[in-house]
Amino acid sequence: MIPKEKALKLIAIYMHICMLYNQELKSLSLRYTNNDEPKFTDQEIMTLYLFVVQQEQRFSVQQMYDFADQYLRSWFAALPSYQAFNNRLNRLSEGFKAVAAHSFDSCLPAECTMDVSLADSFPIITCSGKRKGKVATEITDKGYCSTKSLFYYGLKLHALAFSTPKKMPFPERIVLTPASENDLNVFKQEWGNIPNRTFYGDKIYIDSKFFEDLAINANSFMLTPVKGVKEQHQLTKQRNKTADDLFSKAVSTIRRPIESLFNWLIAKTGIQRASKVRATKGLLVHVFGKIAAAFIYLIF
């Protein structure tokens, strides 16, 4: 049994998922077999996953299943074996991705500054760089996280988020890439044609020629901390130091909240730790399921 307050949230999440399933998710999990209407439905699997991550802070599939088996049998009477549950879950990454996208669209705070966006990324680690990555090798590789001074195997989650004064920024778009992908390349490919926007990023986003063209063609600008120029005369460097430091501090202050967004997402879902994932489908469920669980929290 679970407390009444949590039971009401479980019901609310289930009703929300059923609504989305009838509108959109059904087409993402079609079955072309005789078992196209299993007793334990996709809606129940997704509800269980989202509820246990959000309310119970149990992040591994084994922990989720054990909790459901012990406390939620009266709610999920057709709960199958762990192996069957895991196999079914691994088919639903696109469904979780759609749930997360719906949350982004429906929960956008009114106070968001729509013409100011923050860009950054953080690692999703399948194993340390000291070992050879063997999980989901078709979508992961070895990368380096300068913030943690860490080599790792895994993915990199890139986020573009609307600035929200005195609050965490709210995600506009999220992109997954292998760990080695450069943040600037992702920005150019995914967000390099957004018009009438001011972007704030760290020094990795410095590319004078590209952003000069973006300013002319789309009236969009990228502001980053000032990066030192190689072989610059020492007198010129000293003359500009105060102004450069003030500008860099101002930019860093504005873009810093996106780190709070990442810290909140990691604390709520454990998304950064993917060392227990054993397959590509499982890794995609781990990422999109955790994002969906975090942001469905804002609905309920």
- The 10s digit of each residue's pLDDT in 185-232 is 999 999 999 999 999 999 999 998 999 999 999 999 999 998 866 666
In whole angstroms, give the CA distance from residue 128 to residue 142: 9
Q: For residue 75, what are its two tokens?
A: 């709610």
pLDDT at 28: 75
pLDDT at 8: 93
pLDDT confidence tier of residue 237, bands split at 50, 70 and 90: low
pLDDT confidence tier of residue 147, bands split at 50, 70 and 90: confident
**How confident is the model over 248-274, as a mean pLDDT?**
93
Q: What is the pLDDT of residues 29-62, one digit of tens each?
A: 666 556 667 889 999 999 999 999 999 999 999 9
Report the range of poorest mean pLDDT among 6-15, 22-31, 106-115, 187-196: 22-31
pLDDT at 299: 74
In whole angstroms, give the CA distance from residue 26 to residue 170: 27
pLDDT at 236: 60
> How is 192-237 classified by DSSP, letter by letter?
TT--S-EEE--GGG--HHHHHHHHHHH--EEE-PPPPPTT--HHHH
In whole angstroms, give the CA distance from residue 261 to residue 30: 34
Q: What is the pLDDT of residues 162-173, one digit of tens each?
A: 999 888 999 999
Q: What is the CA radius of gyration of the chain?
A: 22
Helix, strand, coil percentages, rounded to 5, for the chain: 50, 15, 35
pLDDT at 213: 95
pLDDT at 130: 85
pLDDT at 35: 61
Q: Which residues contact 25 (CB under 8 A, 6 or more apart)?
A: 17, 42, 46, 95, 98, 99
| β-sheet bridge partners, residue 153 | 127, 142
pLDDT confidence tier of residue 13, bands split at 50, 70 and 90: very high
pLDDT at 18: 94
What is the three-class DSSP state of 41? coil
Looking up tokens 């719906």, which residue turns up?
102
In whole angstroms, give the CA distance from residue 213 to residue 197: 14
Q: Which residues contact 219 (CB under 8 A, 6 or more apart)?
A: 195, 196
pLDDT at 242: 80
List Cβ<8 Å contacts ≥24 apart for 270-277.
Answer: 270/57, 270/59, 271/124, 271/157, 272/122, 272/123, 272/124, 272/125, 273/59, 273/125, 274/124, 274/125, 274/126, 274/135, 274/154, 274/155, 275/125, 275/126, 275/127, 276/60, 277/126, 277/135, 277/136
Q: For residue 262, what are its two tokens?
A: 């990442």
Is the per-residue pLDDT at 247 higher than 70?
Answer: yes
How big is the chain, counted in residues?
300
> Percentage of the chain with pLDDT > 70?
93
